[in-house]
């Protein structure tokens, strides 16, 4: 059985490590020489996105959706310690941990985070790092901020000030992601303001930690066109999510009402060409902005035929890797699952679609 004690001991060991603080106030550098393609560069080199800042251990990741639900377990999965070892052994190096922190706070202006819920986050982070996984901690489903950016930005900043203070001494394996999938009114200047406030709150506590930021329109590839990175920070990674075509990936999604029935198949030559064109545009955006691009979510609902899920998943994963993007599959064990915790088995051939025959060394 999972013991909170072992997690707590690991966490305090983790927190005991010296914080490695450095000044964030430096200008975004010009591309390192290695990224400036020589005249005779091969097309493959020219296609690559810039590398992530040193210390970013995320290449192959899976989303661990559980704490984004109102209560862990309510949406079908609660994190189990054995799964972290299973994820690592399969060949993933990281998990993304969405948390619905906006629902865990006390009143303004402190917006104090609930300690019991935070201890659970502490334990999962400690267990994951002990299993040699990097962890991306992501503020997820913060509904108010998409409707009312001005009204909710102070709350986002208060949440991040507390998280950054809490994990100030955690190893580099812990990475922060300010906000999942900005949408609706959270775009343009409002989004710039929210990301800058979240980043400033983090940097007031921790000048070194890598921070992931995503653009508007649900952090879609399309949204990249108007995405402006927060200025003057060398420790940023950009993220975008890919669920295209939506009519294929979200077939019969139970969390939509009514669950849509599109009957869309995927895999025709024009589907593959469109996918590659989308990835080319996203990679070009990353190069223009001199930032690493992390594909933070992609996946297909588990009601779609297994061979179709596998084909799309493999194609997307390969498209990302060919362009040097790190990636994170959506998700481990909820509606778009790659592992079935009830059957205790991988779903179809999704493990090899994501990882080939890799296993942890």
Q: Could you list the residues that contact ligand BGC (CB under 6 A)? A: 68, 140, 180-181, 255, 297, 330, 335-336
Query: Facing residues of 213 across strands?
Result: 238
In whole angstroms, the minimum distance from the beta carbon of 162 to ligand BGC comes to: 22
The SS3 of residue 174 is: strand
The beta strand positions in 228-320, using DSSP E, are 236-242, 293-298
In whole angstroms, the minimum distance from the beta carbon of 177 to ligand BGC comes to: 11
What is the CB neighbour count within 10 angstroms for residue 214?
28
Q: Which residue bears the tokens 């669950």?
A: 259
Q: How far apart are CA 168 and CA 203, in angstroms?
A: 10
The nearer residue to ligand BGC, 146 or 203, going by C-beta atoms, is: 146
In whole angstroms, the minimum distance from the beta carbon of 99 to ligand BGC comes to: 11
Alpha-carbon torsion 187, 189, 194, 195, what sign?
Answer: positive
The nearer residue to ligand BGC, 75 or 285, going by C-beta atoms, is: 75
The nearer residue to ligand BGC, 177 or 181, going by C-beta atoms, is: 181
In whole angstroms, the minimum distance from the beta carbon of 254 to ligand BGC comes to: 9
In whole angstroms, the minimum distance from the beta carbon of 175 to ligand BGC comes to: 17
Task: Give the H or E element holding residue 118.
Answer: helix 115-130
Q: Which residue bears the tokens 């296609």?
A: 47
The nearer residue to ligand BGC, 206 or 243, going by C-beta atoms, is: 243
Q: How far apart are CA 140 and CA 2, in angstroms?
A: 25
The SS3 of residue 126 is: helix
Q: What is the CA radius of gyration of the chain?
A: 20
Q: What is the DSSP letter of 135?
A: E
In whole angstroms, the minimum distance from the beta carbon of 179 to ligand BGC comes to: 11
């Amino acid at each position: 059985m999972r013991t909170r004690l072992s997690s707590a001991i690991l966490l305090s060991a983790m927190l005991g490590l010296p914080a490695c603080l450095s000044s964030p106030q430096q200008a975004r550098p010009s591309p390192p020489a290695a990224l400036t393609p020589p005249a005779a560069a091969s097309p493959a080199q020219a296609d690559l996105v810039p590398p992530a800042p040193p210390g970013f251990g995320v290449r192959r990741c899976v989303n661990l959706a559980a704490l984004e639900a109102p209560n862990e377990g309510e949406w079908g999965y609660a994190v189990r310690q054995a799964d972290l070892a299973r994820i690592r052994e399969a060949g993933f190096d990281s998990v993304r941990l969405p948390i619905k922190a906006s629902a865990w706070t006390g009143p303004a202006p402190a917006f104090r985070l609930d300690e019991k819920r935070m201890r659970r986050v502490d334990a999962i982070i400690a267990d994951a790092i002990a299993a040699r996984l990097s962890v991306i901690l992501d503020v997820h489903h913060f509904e108010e901020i998409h409707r009312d950016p001005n009204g909710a930005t102070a709350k986002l900043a208060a949440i991040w000030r507390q998280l950054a203070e809490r994990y100030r001494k955690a190893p580099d394996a812990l990475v922060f992601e300010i906000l999942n999938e900005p949408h609706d009114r959270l775009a343009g200047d409002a989004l710039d303001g929210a990301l800058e406030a979240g980043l400033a709150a983090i940097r007031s506590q921790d000048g070194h930690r890598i921070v992931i930021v995503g653009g508007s329109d649900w952090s879609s590839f399309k949204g990249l066109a108007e995405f402006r990175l927060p200025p003057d920070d060398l420790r940023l990674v950009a993220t975008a999510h890919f669920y295209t075509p939506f009519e294929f990936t979200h077939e019969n999604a139970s969390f939509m009402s009514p669950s849509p029935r599109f009957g869309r198949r995927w895999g025709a030559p024009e589907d593959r060409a469109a996918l590659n064109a989308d990835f080319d545009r996203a990679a070009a955006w990353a190069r223009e902005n001199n930032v690493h691009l992390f594909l933070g979510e992609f996946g297909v609902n588990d009601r779609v035929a297994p061979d179709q899920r596998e084909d799309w998943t493999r194609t997307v994963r390969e498209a990302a890797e060919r362009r040097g993007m790190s990636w994170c599959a959506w998700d481990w064990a909820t509606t778009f699952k790659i592992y079935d915790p009830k059957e205790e088995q991988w779903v179809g051939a999704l493990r090899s679609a994501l990882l080939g025959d890799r296993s942890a060394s």
